[in-house]
Chains A and B, each alone.
Chain A
Amino acid sequence: MSILVDENTRVLVQGITGNEGMFHTRQMVEYGTRIVAGVTPGKGGQKVDGIPVFNTVSEAVRETEANASAIFVPPAFAADAILEAADANIPLIVCLTEGIPTLDMIKVKEYLRKKNVNLIGPNTPGIISPGKCKIGVMAGYIHRQGPVGIMSRSGTLTYEVVDQLTKKGIGQSTCVGIGGDQIIGLDYVDLLRLFEKDPETRALIMIGEIGGIAEEEAAKFIEKEIRKPVVAFIAGLTAPPGRRMGHAGAIISGGKGTAQEKMEALEKAGVRVVKNPALVGEEMAKIIEN
């Protein structure tokens, strides 16, 4: 088992004919992901490495029964691409695009409330259930299948943690990048709920960072609902207030959203908070090996 994606996931790629879209489509196919369709308006009828391209998502879904979408569309058009995927009732939408205007995402979120679909991202490396399915831009080979579920607001920092685990022989059930923006789809709480129910997942890693209150909300939820052990790292203890640290959502504003506050909230909820990012894997090893 795993959460959200597995070997039966049928993926379509929005923006498949662009540079990024095409490169990562090939990487995903190489990993074993079932890419069944691509969508680029105006390029319907073409093929990319034998994958049929359609003009619209609804047509692609009708023809190929795709049940997940990966969005590689430039920021100005990405909100529309998410809406199109939601309109076609694709159950899982993964938006890799960085740089979507915040107010566009607020409208998207409002529309998604009316739909029974899950959005991952935007501004995410994607999601991977090792050995089964990868929808995103992460390097497949650093992962291995196993018992640890990972949730993160960051890309390369997640690779770092995955690498630490894999080098210790600890695999991952599913790794989800929830996205570095202010307004995102699935958050920690949504994923915690799914991981808690997933029989393959024995323990969880949460990688957070400064800005917002998502980690605090997660802490409250963990205290009440989560039985599985959780290890957390929060990036940005040394980040100055009022500055946006690369990610649109990583900012301490009005004294709120500091790493310190988040660590305290998580510790209070019984989470093992690691202060040295190089030791996350080691902390997890203590749990798994017991």
Chain B
Amino acid sequence: MKIHEYQAKEILRQYGVPVPKGRVIQTAEEAKRVSEEIGTEPVVLKAQIHAGGRGKGGGVRVVRNLSEVEKVAREMIGMTLVTPQTGPKGKVVRKVLIEERVEIKEELYLGVVIDRAKASPVIMASREGGIEIEKVAAESPEKIVKEWIDPSIGLRPFQVNKIGYGLGFGPVEVGKLRPIITGLFNAFHEKDCLLAEINPLILTKNGEFIALDAKMNFDDNGLFRHKEIVVLRDLHEEDPLEIEASKYNLNYIKLNGNVGCMVNGAGLAMATMDIIKVFGAEPANFLDVGGGATVEMVKNGFKILMSDPDVKVVFINIFGGILRCDTLAKGVTEAVREVKVKVPIVVRLEGTNVEEGRKILNDSGLNFTVAAGMYEGAQKVVEALKKVGA
């Protein structure tokens, strides 16, 4: 799960990380009052969307005169912000963070992620801040200091020293970095994060470190023990169909093609998208109805697929295994009747009683094309697309 910058900064502040003075607003009318509370000129207005690169699309504005702050806020709230990370459609700005502007002497990077290969959290720090750490890692890996954290002993003071002195700072700066590195790691660890990042962490002209931007991604599997994080979810940032699907516990991701896919299991669902592509068509979505693929899940899956106007053909690929195909086939026909599916459907079912299952589909009088395997299924999808002229 992702959260906004202002929310991440609030969490980090609670963990002792210095952040700029600021507050989030949702209406332009609040802008002036909030700026006056902050009490400095100029202020910075930052659009709050779940995507980076905001500066490039006009999502970060410096306002030198407080008399203009309401006007700028009005321009920003409601605007569609397009950044390199939002995709061409962009995202609507609903909240703006107003902050004091701090004088930057140097920009650093500080982040915690999980190193999958080493099965350990790793703290990464670099004096090349403000840009994507992946770029630094690719172009000049020697400029990144890394410390892996042994889960049984946690982050140790000597490791903070290794990071601070490793970056080339002296004792005074290392002393100031200590609570920031420790705070960031503790937040990462205690809140079940997959990523916690301060980029940039800035060194001000007064010699203080401040988290100028912050990003936190949480482990969905850990959310059950973090009610305080769950409430931070912003549904405006998610695709409406994806939200609908998540209510049914379906894994759904909207894509750009026109073949609606319904598959059981994540790996087979990806492979189904891939084979559609091999045959020259494009998947409209990723949809995993779960390895078990119950009739209820299939019904809900249809509801989601039929809400997407891009879907011209549906490809159902269910490898039931233990599941009985006759039960599944009955479920699929019921679902098609109930949801009133109007586009051609290609079905590939596999599992116990597969012959009975295919017979139920063929005899249903509904618009099914039954395929014997994935290969034939993908072929028939492409034929069906041609027939509907897509």
A-to-B contact residues, CB < 8 Å:
27, 75-76, 99-107, 109-111, 125, 137-139, 141-142, 152-160, 163, 180, 182-183, 207, 209-214, 217, 233, 235-240, 243-250, 254-256, 259, 275-279
Residue B370 lies at the interface, judged by CB distance under 8 Å to chain A: no
Q: Which residues on A sit within 8 Å (CB–CB) of B352?
A: 139, 141
Q: Which residues on A sit within 8 Å (CB–CB) of B270?
A: 157, 209-210, 235-236, 238-239, 245-246, 250
Contact B267 A235 (CB under 8 A): yes
The verdict on A139 contacting B275 (CB below 8 Å), with A180-B266, A255-B134 known, is no
Which of the residues A103, A209, A255, A278 comes within 8 Å of B219, measured between beta carbons? A103
11 CB contacts below 8 A, A to B, read A76-B224, A101-B219, A103-B219, A111-B152, A182-B116, A214-B117, A235-B271, A238-B283, A239-B286, A245-B251, A249-B116
Residue B20 lies at the interface, judged by CB distance under 8 Å to chain A: no
Residue B31 lies at the interface, judged by CB distance under 8 Å to chain A: no
Interface string of B94-126 (1 = CB under 8 A from A): 000000000000000000001011011100000
Chain B proximity of A175: nearest CB distance (Å):
12
Residue B18 lies at the interface, judged by CB distance under 8 Å to chain A: no
The verdict on A103 contacting B222 (CB below 8 Å), with A183-B119, A207-B267 known, is yes
Q: Which residues on B sit within 8 Å (CB–CB) of A103?
A: 121, 151, 189, 192, 219, 222
Contact B150 A110 (CB under 8 A): yes
Chain A proximity of B71: nearest CB distance (Å):
34
- Total count of chain B residues near the partner, CB < 8 A: 57
The verdict on A106 contacting B277 (CB below 8 Å), with A157-B265, A245-B269, A246-B288 known, is no
- Chain B CB count within 10 A is highest, among A75, A152, A233, A254, for A254
Interface residues of B in 218-249 (CB under 8 A from A): 219-222, 224-225
The verdict on A213 contacting B266 (CB below 8 Å), with A236-B274, A278-B373 known, is no
Which of the residues A27, A180, A237, A247 comes within 8 Å of B322, measured between beta carbons? A27
Considering the complex of A and B, which 7 residue pairs feature the smallest CB-CB distances, nearest first? A154-B267, A246-B266, A156-B265, A139-B321, A157-B267, A278-B375, A101-B222
| Secondary structure class of chain B's binding surface, majority of residues | mixed
Which of the residues B114, B132, B189, B274 comes within 8 Å of A238, measured between beta carbons? B274
Q: Which residues on A sit within 8 Å (CB–CB) of B264?
A: 156
Residue B268 lies at the interface, judged by CB distance under 8 Å to chain A: yes
Contact B151 A156 (CB under 8 A): no
A251 nearest in chain B by CB position:
B194
- Chain A CB count within 10 A is highest, among B116, B134, B253, for B116
- Chain A CB count within 10 A is highest, among B189, B253, B275, B321, for B321
Contact A233 B114 (CB under 8 A): no
Q: Which residues on A sit within 8 Å (CB–CB) of B5?
A: none
Chain A proximity of B227: nearest CB distance (Å):
14
A74 nearest in chain B by CB position:
B224
A246–B132 CA distance with the chains assembled, in angstroms: 26
Which of the residues A109, A183, A207, A238 comes within 8 Å of B273, measured between beta carbons? A238
The verdict on A246 contacting B116 (CB below 8 Å), with A103-B192, A154-B268, A235-B267 known, is no
Q: Which residues on B sit within 8 Å (CB–CB) of A254?
A: 132-134, 137
Contact B275 A153 (CB under 8 A): no
The verdict on A160 contacting B374 (CB below 8 Å), with A235-B270, A247-B266, A248-B221 known, is yes
A159–B318 CA distance with the chains assembled, in angstroms: 11
Residue B17 lies at the interface, judged by CB distance under 8 Å to chain A: no
A211–B116 CA distance with the chains assembled, in angstroms: 10
Interface string of B142-161 (1 = CB under 8 A from A): 00000000111000000000
Contact B277 A237 (CB under 8 A): yes
Residue B378 lies at the interface, judged by CB distance under 8 Å to chain A: yes
Which of the residues B194, B266, B274 comes within 8 Å of A277, measured between beta carbons? B274
B266 nearest in chain A by CB position:
A246
Contact B319 A276 (CB under 8 A): no
Residue B131 lies at the interface, judged by CB distance under 8 Å to chain A: no
Contact A278 B378 (CB under 8 A): yes
Chain A proximity of B276: nearest CB distance (Å):
8
Q: Which residues on B sit within 8 Å (CB–CB) of A99?
A: 221
Residue B291 lies at the interface, judged by CB distance under 8 Å to chain A: yes
A237–B372 CA distance with the chains assembled, in angstroms: 24
- Chain B CB count within 10 A is highest, among A152, A211, A212, A247, for A247
B376 nearest in chain A by CB position:
A278
Q: Which residues on A sit within 8 Å (CB–CB) of B133?
A: 254
Q: Which residues on B sit within 8 Å (CB–CB) of A243?
A: 253, 286
Residue B350 lies at the interface, judged by CB distance under 8 Å to chain A: yes
Q: Which residues on B sit within 8 Å (CB–CB) of A137?
A: 291, 322
Q: Besides the contacts A180-B266, A212-B116, what 6 more A-B pairs have beta carbons closer than 8 Å?
A: A102-B194, A103-B151, A104-B222, A106-B120, A211-B116, A245-B251
B323 nearest in chain A by CB position:
A139
Q: Which residues on B sit within 8 Å (CB–CB) of A141?
A: 352
Q: Which residues on B sit within 8 Å (CB–CB) of A245?
A: 251, 253, 266, 269-270, 286
Contact B268 A276 (CB under 8 A): no
A276–B271 CA distance with the chains assembled, in angstroms: 8
A109–B378 CA distance with the chains assembled, in angstroms: 40
A100–B222 CA distance with the chains assembled, in angstroms: 7
A275–B224 CA distance with the chains assembled, in angstroms: 38
Q: Which residues on A sit within 8 Å (CB–CB) of B283?
A: 238
Q: Which residues on A sit within 8 Å (CB–CB) of B268?
A: 154-157, 159-160, 235
Chain B proximity of A22: nearest CB distance (Å):
14
Residue B255 lies at the interface, judged by CB distance under 8 Å to chain A: yes
A198–B201 CA distance with the chains assembled, in angstroms: 53
Contact A279 B375 (CB under 8 A): yes
Which of the residues A106, A142, A276 comes within 8 Å of B119, measured between beta carbons? A106
A81–B51 CA distance with the chains assembled, in angstroms: 38
Chain A proximity of B203: nearest CB distance (Å):
25
Interface residues of B in 41-84 (CB under 8 A from A): none
Contact A101 B192 (CB under 8 A): yes
Contact B189 A277 (CB under 8 A): no
Contact A155 B273 (CB under 8 A): no
B121 nearest in chain A by CB position:
A106
